[in-house]
Amino acid sequence: MPSAQERAKQLAQEMRKAVKEAKEAEARAKRLGEEVMQALAEAKAEAESLADVVEYPPGRYECKSCRQPLLFMEPTRELTPCENCGGTEFVGHEPRVLKVTPPPPKKYPAGMYECAGCGSRVALAEGVDKLTPCDICGIAVLRAPQS
C-alpha cells in the first residue's frame, strides 16, 4: 500500500498532466474557433455571390469569334462554350439579372458565442431562432464572446 506522500506525488503528477491537456485543448478550441469564423465569412461571401442570378433567355446566339450559331429553347444560366472554336463570348439576347430575396435574418446569426451560464464557447454554424441547451451546464442563453 503506497504511503500518503507517494499518493500525493502521484496525484500532483496526474494534475500537472490534466492541466497540460486542458491548455492544449484550449489552444485547439481557439484555433478551431478562428477556422469556424473564417469558414463562416467564406460561406457568407458565397451566399452573397448567389444573390444575383444571371439568366439568358431562349433564342439564337452567335459566337463572337467564329460566328457559329447557338440556339437555346429554354432559359439557361450559363452559355456553353462554342462547339466550333471553344469561345465563351456570344452575341445575342441580353441576359436578365434576377435578384434573389434572402430569407429574414435569424435571431442568432452564425458565429461564435459564449454560454451565459458557464462561459464555454459555442460555435453556431447556421443562424437559428431557438437555442439548444449548453452541453456543459444546460442553460440555453448565449452572448457575444468577451474578446
Backbone angles phi, psi at 143, to 5 degrees: -140, 160
Cell, residue 113: 458565442
Please check whether residue 137 is in contact with residue 67, taking contact to mean a CB–CB distance below 8 angstroms: no
What does pTM read for this prediction? 0.50
Tens-digit pLDDT profile for residues 53-82 = 888 899 899 999 999 998 888 888 888 888
147 pLDDT band, cuts 50/70/90, is: low
Please state the rounded mean pLDDT for residues 96-100: 77
Q: Which of 68, 46, 132 is nearest to 141 (CA)?
A: 132
